[in-house]
Amino acid sequence: MPVFTFNVRVHFGHGERAVLASELAGLGMNRPLFVTDRGVRAAGVFDLATESVSKVAAEQVFDETPPNPTERAVEAGYARYAALGCDGVVGIGGGATLDLAKAIAVMCGDPAPLWEYCNRNPRPRPIVNPPPVVLMPTTAGSGSEVGRSAVIIFDNGIKAGVGCPTIVRAAICDPELTLTLPPAMTAATGMDALSHCVETYCSPSFNPPLDAIALDGLRRLHAHIERATRDGTDREARWSMMMGALEGALCFGKGLGAVHSISHALGALGHHHGTLNALMLPAVLEFNAPVIGERLDGLCDAMGLRRGSDLQAAFADLNQRLGLPRGLRALGVSPEQFEGIARAALADNAHKTNPRAVSHEEYLTLLHAAW
């Protein structure tokens, strides 16, 4: 069994945002750079998250996170960090913001082209003396607050991870920061988290503790995603959604699969990651079904379904009930793009841990099935 560690200290629960001041003091952060996006600021969520350090938070802010974090945005964030003389990074937002915050911190320790740190680089540069990082998610989706990488769209067009499993010193998971998240974003980010639980559980890597965590995350997410989407003020649903997202990301050590290898390739074109995962999950699960055997029963049990149920149909129906797009065509993806997407999926690291080997032609079939 591979070595597995949970490296991040996590504060979890309603109102836990209040510990931000003590975390910054304990980590010696006097001038942290607060990384967020303009939507989070406009919605008042940034002010809510930083109410215990409001004076400090008003002084050093980088709010230029794009919908998908880019190498250019990382460079801009690092320039702001250096210009302000900061001594730490606090990320407050969804998965894009949290990944951006981690990548900025990577640059701060030893400034170099970010591609040199990428896990797709043949010889990734080691991370040296990064500043402390604290992350506060405002969605229940990526689980980046405890994830092993920062996923970035690089200037060369590749969307891939910068491995930084120990860079985050503390995560503050306060479900109250998600209470005003709009229904469409609740659904899309929630399906991102759900896909993490499904793919890590189905990965062939042997790790029974992480399997148990993935199934618990799936159980929570499947039971509460429609409730949270329908009524964003449902505090119990928001708590379970955030816990399920965290659990899915804890399991990344098992590896993901073809859902993510395709969504990374499509995401490099600018599409929303969680939405892509939701659309690809039914087709990929049907493709993998012949080789994952009894794990299908585990998925059914966690979702409260009868064993032997059609899981492809169950996930497709869930997507429709959540109001997600019906297929890749609705996102503006063209079949003419499939050849390039299939090639990129084959090169993606998530491809390596899909439970069933996938060829170029089979990737094309999966893309057509989700179109």
Domain CATH code at residue 129: 3.40.50.1970
Residue 73 lies in a domain: yes
Decide if 261 contacts 345 (C-beta within 8 A). Answer: yes
Residue 342 lies in a domain: yes
Same domain, 42 and 104: yes
Same domain, 215 and 341: yes
The Cα 106–Cα 161 span in angstroms is 12
Residue 1 lies in a domain: no
Residue 243 lies in a domain: yes
Give the end of a domain, one of 136, 161, 178: 178
Same domain, 196 and 301: yes
Same domain, 62 and 124: yes
Taking all residues of the chain, what is their mean pLDDT, rounded to a whole number?
Answer: 95
Tell me: the pLDDT tens digits for 239-275? 999 999 999 999 999 999 999 999 999 998 889 999 9
Sheet with 88-93, side-by-side order of all strands: 9-12, 168-173, 133-137, 88-93, 32-35, 61-62
- CATH code for the domain in which residue 218 is found: 1.20.1090.10
Domain count, the chain: 2
Same domain, 203 and 317: yes
Same domain, 231 and 288: yes
Residue 2 lies in a domain: no
Closest by CA position to 77, among listed 149, 145, 152: 152
Same domain, 187 and 335: yes
Same domain, 152 and 231: no
Residue range(s) defining the domain that contains residue 300: 183-370
> For residue 44, is it left (φ>0), alpha (ψ between -120 and 50) or beta?
left
Tokens of 278: 């939701």
Same domain, 171 and 279: no
pLDDT at 55: 87
Decide if 312 contacts 288 (C-beta within 8 A). Answer: no
Same domain, 152 and 207: no
Residue 222 lies in a domain: yes
Give the end of a domain, one of 128, 145, 178: 178
Give the end of a domain, one of 154, 178, 202: 178
Residue 3 lies in a domain: no
Same domain, 247 and 142: no
Tokens of 313: 């149909």
pLDDT at 192: 97
Same domain, 57 and 86: yes
Ranges of residues in the chain with a pLDDT under 70 are 1-5
Kind of pairing between the strands at 159-163 and 149-153: antiparallel
Residue 94 lies in a domain: yes
